[in-house]
């Protein structure tokens, strides 16, 4: 999968990695920053998402589409589609640009708006990558937990670098007997929940 990334897509990934590094240090206001996952986390997501049960593959928090590209690589491998939700119109514009250049468009559905306006209409979920504002993680977990299929995965970013911020979601998941959960020390820490 990783040695079949076309040059144009690799170029866009490198461009986004550079832009993300830069805007963390150049005074860009938080709301405008890309706040992307690390490359290692991207690879981790691809490897998890290439081997999923039936159901929707979703992402909450697209930003400029960097993490979506890693999920879409897995979706291409398996003939599936990633549904990604982004609330900020400026980020949606950037993501459209990313996906247009990626060669992976047929494996991505970008939905502009608040995830919670769509969550009730979602079908059974095989995979959810959760990477939005930390304050809404617990509400996201509550919105999707019942919809997760057996062996479906929820992966929540920032489980180590923003542990306190997402603790309410982590605690709720650990108390939910329907899930096996573990924090994986890749990137900024990925909290992985498997539906039993």
Ligand X SMILES: C[S@@+](CC[C@H](N)C(=O)[O-])C[C@H]1O[C@@H](n2cnc3c(N)ncnc32)[C@H](O)[C@@H]1O
Choose which of 46, 58, 73, 86 interacts with ligand X (CB under 6 A): 86
CB closer to ligand X out of 52 and 166: 166
Take residue 167 and report the two structure tokens written for it: 């603790």
Site string for ligand X, 150-189 (x = CB under 6 A): ----------------------------------------
60/8 Cα distance (integer angstroms)? 25
Please tell me whether residue 131 binds ligand X under the rule CB under 6 A: yes
CB closer to ligand X out of 52 and 128: 128
The pair phi, psi for residue 18, each rounded to 5°, is: -70, -45
Cβ-based burial of 159 (10 A; exposed 0-12, middle 13-18, buried ≥19): buried
Please tell me whether residue 88 binds ligand X under the rule CB under 6 A: yes
Q: Looking at residues 3 to 62 of the shown chain, list those that interact with ligand X (rule: CB under 6 A).
A: 35-37, 60-61
Which part of the chain contacts ligand X (CB under 6 A), choosing from 46-54, 73-81, 96-104, 109-117?
109-117
Please tell me whether residue 191 binds ligand X under the rule CB under 6 A: no
Q: Using the CB atoms, write b or e for 63-87: b if 16+ within 10 Å.
A: bbbbbbbbbbbbbbeeebbbbbbbb
Please tell me whether residue 66 binds ligand X under the rule CB under 6 A: yes
CB closer to ligand X out of 103 and 151: 103
Q: What residues make contact with ligand X under the rule CB under 6 A?
A: 35-37, 60-61, 63, 66-67, 85-88, 91, 114-116, 131-133, 136
């Amino acid at each position: 999968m990783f040695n079949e990334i076309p040059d144009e897509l690799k170029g866009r990934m490198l461009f986004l990695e550079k832009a993300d590094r830069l805007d963390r240090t150049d005074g860009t206001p938080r709301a405008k920053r890309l706040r992307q996952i690390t490359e290692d986390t991207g690879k981790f997501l691809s490897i998890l998402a290439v081997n999923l049960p039936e159901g929707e593959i979703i992402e909450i928090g697209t930003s400029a589409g960097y993490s979506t590209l890693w999920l879409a690589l897995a979706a291409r491998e398996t003939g599936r589609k990633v549904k990604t939700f982004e609330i900020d119109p400026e980020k949606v514009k950037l993501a459209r640009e990313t996906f247009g250049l990626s060669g992976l468009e047929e494996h991505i559905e970008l939905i502009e708006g608040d995830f919670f306006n769509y969550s009730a209409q979602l079908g059974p979920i095989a995979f959810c990558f959760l990477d939005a504002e930390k304050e809404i993680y617990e509400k996201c977990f509550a919105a999707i937990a019942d919809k997760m299929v057996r062996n479906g995965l929820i992966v929540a970013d920032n489980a180590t670098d923003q542990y306190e911020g997402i603790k309410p979601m982590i605690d709720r998941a650990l108390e939910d007997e329907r899930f096996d959960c573990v924090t994986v020390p890749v990137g900024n820490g990925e909290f992985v929940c498997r539906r039993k």
